[in-house]
């Protein structure tokens, strides 16, 4: 086969579009590839021609230099594509199938996978449970912001769309199934959102907006989204959310103006470790702010869903404790209020088929709600810059020009 164009991390604040190797059914050495995975045979995998691959806030953490990601790492874990080649051990997925790829890489064979905990598979990352494409310390599986990508354990991992033509008509919605829609859904579901719930979602980025969409789908009576970014707050209001501008101070007072009480039934942290302060401290990075706020405004006996990313290594942190992921959270407050917490990667496979059906049968408009915007792979560097500036858009790369734009 021919070559392959991909998006690569080129150092803090930089991404490049590079020419790279066409994938094969064997993991090769390269930036970020775990040495123990080099030479690993992937006869159970497929090669996808990428239809859509999205820029994620998790990618942005690496590009800002806030992780230990090596230069040259091919980025991208939100992947939707068409199968163009199958390994000899693939039985059910066929060439020509159009599929969504969960960002978690899972073997389907280990204890955790069999229990549905596909975000912490035991067999795909030699260093620790859990793996993902194109992400630091995640085993070194090559990223999918590319024209072609290798997907292992294809019969287990891939979600095949039932009708290819219908799927292409809704591809801007369906591309969100690889990560942010299930991740947002996981956040609100584990926070206990059910019919009639009131919910506060910290963060109006794409994951926060996806969580708000999921909360509405689950029947929440009031969905409140908090952020510092006025453009993103306006995007939340565009599909019926209430909003809180945390630059104006503690969200509790604004929540009371909306609900009549200063607490919600369910709280969600869709911000993560690069959180900023509130009110007069809005310009300062304070990584524990959101966790402490969400505990404060969630009722006693409530639950917190935490899809926002927290890391064990943050070289850009302002204090030594935060550099190793140690934050000053008020665990005593959460204990006193009998809160339950759910953290970690979303197990995408737990939700993606149901959410696919909701999209295909017009029960939700996730692409509209997150303002999905298609760009070419050559525009990726500018897309990263625009996303980092805080625009209210979810950038979808169109590496093989298969998405009709306009």
Whichever domain contains 69, its CATH number is: 3.90.180.10
At 284 the pLDDT is: 84
Domain assignment of residue 84, given as a range: 4-179+347-397
**CATH code, 232:** 3.40.50.720
Rounded-to-integer distance, Cα 225 and Cα 231, Å: 13
At 137 the pLDDT is: 87
Does 403 reside within a domain?
no
Same domain, 38 and 91: yes
Task: Provide the residue-wise pLDDT of the chain in tens; the chain has 406 residues.
Answer: 568 999 999 999 999 999 999 999 999 999 988 899 999 999 999 999 999 999 999 999 999 999 889 999 999 999 999 999 999 999 999 999 999 999 999 999 999 999 999 999 999 999 999 999 999 888 889 999 999 999 999 999 999 999 999 999 999 999 999 999 999 999 999 999 999 999 999 999 999 999 999 999 999 999 999 999 999 999 999 999 999 999 998 899 999 999 999 999 999 999 998 888 888 888 888 889 999 999 999 999 999 999 998 988 888 888 888 888 898 999 999 999 999 999 999 999 999 999 999 999 999 999 999 999 999 999 999 999 999 999 999 999 999 999 987 6
The domain boundary, picked from 312, 342, 372, lies at 342
Same domain, 69 and 214: no
At 262 the pLDDT is: 97
What is the token pair recorded at 293? 């706020």
At 406 the pLDDT is: 60
Does 122 reside within a domain?
yes
Rounded-to-integer distance, Cα 153 and Cα 349, Å: 13
Rounded-to-integer distance, Cα 101 and Cα 348, Å: 9
What is the token pair recorded at 347? 């197990």
Number of domains in the chain: 2
Instruction: State the pTM of this model.
Output: 0.95
Same domain, 326 and 352: no
Confirm if 64 and 75 have CB atoms less than 8 A apart. Answer: no
Same domain, 234 and 353: no
Rounded-to-integer distance, Cα 195 and Cα 182, Å: 19
At 2 the pLDDT is: 65
Same domain, 187 and 331: yes
Does 406 reside within a domain?
no
At 283 the pLDDT is: 82
At 278 the pLDDT is: 87
Rounded-to-integer distance, Cα 324 and Cα 351, Å: 31
At 316 the pLDDT is: 85
Same domain, 123 and 207: no
Same domain, 16 and 116: yes
Same domain, 99 and 190: no
The domain boundary, picked from 309, 327, 342, lies at 342
Distances (CA, A) of 130 to 133, 138, 152, 195: 11, 7, 14, 32
Same domain, 111 and 188: no
Same domain, 276 and 156: no
At 110 the pLDDT is: 98
Same domain, 324 and 391: no
Does 405 reside within a domain?
no
Same domain, 382 and 334: no
């Amino acid at each position: 086969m021919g070559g392959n164009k991909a998006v690569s991390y080129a150092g803090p604040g930089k991404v490049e579009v590079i020419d790279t190797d066409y994938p094969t059914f064997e993991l090769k050495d390269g930036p970020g590839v775990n040495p123990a995975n080099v030479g690993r045979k992937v006869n159970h995998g497929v090669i996808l021609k990428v239809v859509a691959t999205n820029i994620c806030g998790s990618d942005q953490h690496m590009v800002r230099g806030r992780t230990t990601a090596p230069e040259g790492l091919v980025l991208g874990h939100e992947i939707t594509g068409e199968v163009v080649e199958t390994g000899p051990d693939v039985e059910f997925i066929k060439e020509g199938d159009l599929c969504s790829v969960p960002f978690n890489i899972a073997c389907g064979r280990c204890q955790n996978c069999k229990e549905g905990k596909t975000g912490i598979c035991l067999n795909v990352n030699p260093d620790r449970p859990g793996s993902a494409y194109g992400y630091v310390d995640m085993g070194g599986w090559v990223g999918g912001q590319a024209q072609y990508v290798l997907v292992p354990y294809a019969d287990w991992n891939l979600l095949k769309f039932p009708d290819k033509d219908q799927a292409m008509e809704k591809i801007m919605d369906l591309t969100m199934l690889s990560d942010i829609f299930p991740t947002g859904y996981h956040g609100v579901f584990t926070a206990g959102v059910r019919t009639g719930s009131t919910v506060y979602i910290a963060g109006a980025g794409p994951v926060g907006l996806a969580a708000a969409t999921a909360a509405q789908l689950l029947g929440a009576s009031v969905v409140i989204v908090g952020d510092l970014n006025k453009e993103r707050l306006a995007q939340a209001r565009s599909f019926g959310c209430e909003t809180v501008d945390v630059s104006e101070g503690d969200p509790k007072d604004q929540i009371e103006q909306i609900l009549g009480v200063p607490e919600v039934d369910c709280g969600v942290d869709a911000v993560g470790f690069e959180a900023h302060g509130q009110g007069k401290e809005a310009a300062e990075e304070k990584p524990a702010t959101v966790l402490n706020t969400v505990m404060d405004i969630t009722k006693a006996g409530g639950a917190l869903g935490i899809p926002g990313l927290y890391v064990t290594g943050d070289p850009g942190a302002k204090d030594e404790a935060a550099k190793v992921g140690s934050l000053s959270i008020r665990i005593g407050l959460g204990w006193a209020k009998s809160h339950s917490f759910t953290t970690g990667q979303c197990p995408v496979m737990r939700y993606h088929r149901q959410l696919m059906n909701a999209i295909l049968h017009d029960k939700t408009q996730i692409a509209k709600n997150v303002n999905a915007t298609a760009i070419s792979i050559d525009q990726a560097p500018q897309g990263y810059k625009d996303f980092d500036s805080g625009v209210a858009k979810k950038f979808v790369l169109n590496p093989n020009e298969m998405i009709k734009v306009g």
